[in-house]
Amino acid sequence: DADVTQTPRNRITKTGKRIMLECSQTKGHDRMYWYRQDPGLGLRLIYYSFDVKDINKGEISDGYSVSRQAQAKFSLSLESAIPNQTALYFCATSEERGGYTFGSGTRLTVV
């Protein structure tokens, strides 16, 4: 099994729909992150969590929310999806000073 598992891998949804992307990890790391990747741009941080009771906004949090259900689970929600949220979404985990482990990504298309 992968260290960081994202579901679904691909999703097409309509404008205005609520959608949840899920992430689970077996690394035992406290820190978890959600990033967005767009063509020609570097990954940008949406939200991050340093432990179950800690949730922080990243640089592009508008239109997104997150839930840290357990140390191993961190989900990202789009309350009302819009077309410019079409992107590749990555979940990642890390130790405080260690490297990051990324999931395989969720390709989201909003039509």
Partner 1 sequence: KNQVEQSPQSLIILEGKNCTLQCNYTVSPFSNLRWYKQDTGRGPVSLTIMTFSENTKSNGRYTATLDADTKQSSLHITASQLSDSASYICVVRGFSGGYNKLIFGAGTRLAVHP
Segment 55 to 84, residues that bind partner 1, using CB under 8 A: 56, 58-59
Beta-bridged to residue 6, according to DSSP, are: 23
Q: According to the binding rule CB under 8 A, does residue 90 interact with partner 1?
A: yes
Sign of CA dihedral 85, 89, 95, 99: negative
Segment 23 to 62, residues that bind partner 1, using CB under 8 A: 40-45, 56, 58-59
Phi and psi angles of residue 74, each rounded to the nearest 5 degrees, phi first: -145, 115
Stretch that binds partner 1, among 14-22, 63-71, 78-86, 95-103 (CB under 8 A): 95-103
Which tokens is 104 given?
Answer: 């395989």
d(CA 75, CA 16) in angstroms, rounded, equals: 19
Q: According to the binding rule CB under 8 A, does residue 105 interact with partner 1?
A: yes
Residues in contact with partner 1 by CB under 8 A are 4, 40-45, 56, 58-59, 90, 92, 99-100, 102-105
